[in-house]
Amino acid sequence: MAVMEKSAGKPHGGAFSDGVRLYIWAIVILVIAELIGAISINAGHGKIVLLPMVWALLLGAALGLSQARLPRFAQINLSMQHQASAILQPALLLFVAKLGLLVGGSLPKLVAAGWALVFQEFGHFVGTIILGLPVALMLGIKREAIGATFSVGREPSLAIIGEKYGFDSPEGRGVLAEYLTGTVFGAVFISLFAGFVASLNLFHPHSLAMGAGVGSGSMMAAAAGAIAAQQTPEVAKEVATFAAASNLITTTVGTYFTLFISLPLAVWGYRVMEPVLGRMSRRGRANADAAAVADVEAAKELKEASTAHTVEMNFGARLFAWVFSGALALVGNTIAFKTPFLDGVPGMVILIGAVIVGEALYFATRRKVPAVCWVSLIAMFLTSPAFPFAPVVAQFTGKINFLSLVTPMLTYAGLSVAKDVPAFRRLGWRIVVVSFLANAGTFLGAAMIAEFFHV
Q: How far apart are the first and last CA of the chain?
A: 59
Residue 392 amino acid letter: V
Cα distance between residue 53 and residue 434, in whole Å: 23
Chain mean position to CA 4 = 26
Residue 84 φ/ψ, nearest 5 degrees: -60, -40
Mean pLDDT across the chain: 80
The confidence band for 110, taking pLDDT boundaries of 50, 70 and 90, is low
What DSSP state is assigned to residue 260?
A: I
Identify the helix (H) or strand (E) that includes residue 277: none
User: CB within 8 A of 149, min separation 6: which ones?
Assistant: 128, 129, 132, 133, 136, 174, 178, 266, 434, 438
Mind spelling out the 3-state secondary structure of 264-307?
HHHHHHHHHHHHHHHHHCHHHHHHHHHHHHHHHHHHHHHHHHHH
Pairing status of strand 310-312 against strand 46-50: unpaired
Cα distance between residue 337 and residue 55, in whole Å: 17
Q: Three-state DSSP class for 137?
A: helix
Per residue in 399-422, pLDDT (tens digit) is 998 778 888 988 898 888 787 666
pLDDT at residue 357, as a whole number:
96
Q: Is 5 in contact with 83 (CB distance < 8 Å)? A: yes
Q: Is 129 in contact with 266 (CB distance < 8 Å)? A: yes
Nearest to 220 by CA among 179, 187, 257: 187
Whether the pTM exceeds 0.95: the reply is: no
Annotate 15-60 with DSSP letters as a single string.
HHHHHHHHHHHHHHHHHHHHHH--EEEEETTEEEEE-HHHHHHHHH
Percentage of the chain beyond pLDDT 90 is 21
User: What residue ranges in 56-194 does DSSP mark as E strands?
Assistant: none
Low-confidence winner among 52-66, 170-184, 257-271 (lowest mean pLDDT): 170-184
The confidence band for 286, taking pLDDT boundaries of 50, 70 and 90, is very low
Cα distance between residue 247 and residue 258, in whole Å: 15
Q: CB burial class (10 A; 0-12, 13-18, 19+) of residue 62?
A: middle
The confidence band for 294, taking pLDDT boundaries of 50, 70 and 90, is very low
Per residue in 308-353, pLDDT (tens digit) is 555 677 888 899 999 999 999 999 999 998 999 999 999 999 999 9
Nearest to 377 by CA among 64, 96, 162, 112: 96
For the chain, helix, strand, coil in percent to 5 are 80, 5, 15
Residue 158 amino acid letter: L
Cα distance between residue 300 and residue 303, in whole Å: 5
Q: Is 55 in contact with 33 (CB distance < 8 Å)? A: yes
